[in-house]
Amino acid sequence: MSLAIKLQTASAEYQKLDLDLSNVVEARQRLEAQLSENELVKKEFSTLTSENIIYKQIGPALVKQDPAEAKAHVDTRLDFIRSEIKRVEEQLKNVGAAAEKKKVEIVNIQATIQQQAQQGAAEAS
């Protein structure tokens, strides 16, 4: 396989990894927003008294909900979001490492092409 084709293939693979990296970063940002929102809800729950009523929106309706159940749902959601953040961070690390490795490969191919061009120019003179 010629170096030009190797370079083109490696560049296409790098672009795909870069797109994957962007998608993972976007997913991480969404999870952070969800985490922040749910932590805010948990904080609001701590300020409620026994007289306060908690409602849950189901479709267009608001349904009365047991405070203990609502707090348990928020805690469960927080645990899930935190575990997803850990999973996404691991994915981010892996995709970032693969992209860095592919970038080094591209630089090496470019250096080889440049060396061959210089040798060809030297032999022509």
Residue ranges in the chain whose pLDDT is less than 70: 1, 125
What is the pLDDT, as a whole number, of residue 91? 97
What is the pLDDT, as a whole number, of residue 94? 96
Domain span at residue 14 reads 3-124
CATH number of the structural domain spanning residue 38: 1.10.287.370
Q: What number of other Cβ atoms are within 10 A of residue 88's Cβ?
A: 19
What is the pLDDT, as a whole number, of residue 14? 95
Report pLDDT digits (tens) over 39-58.
Answer: 999 999 999 988 899 999 99
Q: How many structural domains are present in the chain? A: 1
DSSP the chain: --HHHHHHHHHHHHHHHHHHHHHHHHHHHHHHHHHHHHHHHHHHHHT--TT--EEEEETTEEEEE-HHHHHHHHHHHHHHHHHHHHHHHHHHHHHHHHHHHHHHHHHHHHHHHHHHHHHHHHHH-
Contact 54, 48 (CB under 8 A): yes
pTM: 0.79
